[in-house]
Amino acid sequence: MERKSPNFDDEDDDAALFADGTALRPYPTFSPRSSVVSVEFGSHSHPGRRRTTNDDQFMIVRLGRTHEMLASSLPDDELQREFTESAFGAVVADGLGTNGSGVASKLAISSLMQMVMRFGRWNLRVNDRTAWEIVERAERFYRRVAQLVTEASMGHPALAGMGSTLTATYSAGDELFVIHVGHSRAYLLRRGLLSRLTRDQTVAQRLRETGRAVPTELAGHDLRHVLTDAIGGHAGEPHVEIENYPLMDGDVLLLCTNGLTDVVDDDAIAAVLQRPAPTQDQCRALVELALERGGPDNITVVTARYTIPHPGANAPAGE
């Protein structure tokens, strides 16, 4: 995907300070893309009809940077008094295994958040350089989370073999990053069309992709639930899938565990997300639909609806 950087979003570009090469002029007043995008989130989680505990976990977070001029001798027309930039993260995790699966999903999300807080660069303006930084850090964070979950399972016999899926999104301005391990999913609804942004890391998916027959020893298993990659568990170091997508005004993002997608097909999901309703109501409707269809597993959904002004709405004067 060819990338283009919005005007004045590159912090290393000083050319705009000099109009004719000699006369120093201030930057025109502007609003970064990450300061004009708003997101409405919804979330809902349910243990399902056949489970007594809920091993799914989720999190939604807003990261920000605020500029507020407290005092200055310069006149107001020569200063930008304040603006706030925001980025948004969301993650779902589905605990796996019979031992400590709820512990695995909790540990995965809490560890990821601690690393973001401690080591994250919080890139709120995305260009070619910062996009690569986001991808590299996300992969490093995921691998470290997987190591922590594995170490915890090895250090506590009651937690042996525990693991988790981990599907996360990070959006800054009109840029979306999807980071994924396992078979929880991310979808994007755009203008009535629902697109899946993740690939199930399961034996069933791998067999479909390679065209191979089901091995005899696996014939009695539900291969949709046999993971090839996971955070922790017995799968070894996971293959972390990371993609970058442009966002558009009105896009609706969905993160969910397989408790939804095992029983509700994509057409039914799209129908709910297209309803003119608050995102929280959409989440509850999706969970209720899964419960109506048996709800055999834990069900977790997170949705986000993006409002993104046209690029010209936040361009500097004269651009």
- Strands annotated E in 34-154: 38-46, 56-68, 82-96
Indicate the residue type of 91: V
Question: What is the rounded average pLDDT of the residues 219-248?
Answer: 84
In which residue are the tokens 């955070």 written?
Answer: 231
Question: How many CB atoms sit inside 10 A of residue 289's CB?
Answer: 18
DSSP assigned state of 23: S
Q: Above 90 in pLDDT, residue 82?
A: no
Lowest mean pLDDT among 22-36, 67-81, 167-181: 22-36
Which domains does the chain possess?
A: 33-67+82-313 (3.60.40.10)
Which residue has 């060819």 as its token pair? 2
Rounded (to 5) percent helix, strand, coil in the chain: 35, 30, 40
Quick one: pLDDT band at residue 28, thresholds 50, 70, 90?
A: low
Task: Show Cβ contacts of residue 94 under 8 Å, excluding neighbours closer than 6 positions.
Answer: 55, 56, 105, 164, 165, 182, 183, 184, 257, 258, 259, 298, 300
Alpha carbon distance 56, 93 (integer Å): 6
Nearest to 270 by CA among 248, 244, 289: 289
- Which pTM value belongs to this model? 0.86
Per-residue pLDDT, averaged over 95-99, amounts to 79
Can you count the helices (H) and strands (E) in the chain?
7, 12
The answer to whether 291 and 48 have CB atoms below 8 angstroms apart is: yes
What are 257-275's pLDDT values in tens digits? 999 999 999 999 999 999 9
**Average pLDDT over all residues of the chain:** 85
How, if at all, do strands 185-190 and 299-307 pair?
Answer: unpaired
Q: Are 65 and 35 in contact (CB under 8 A)?
A: no
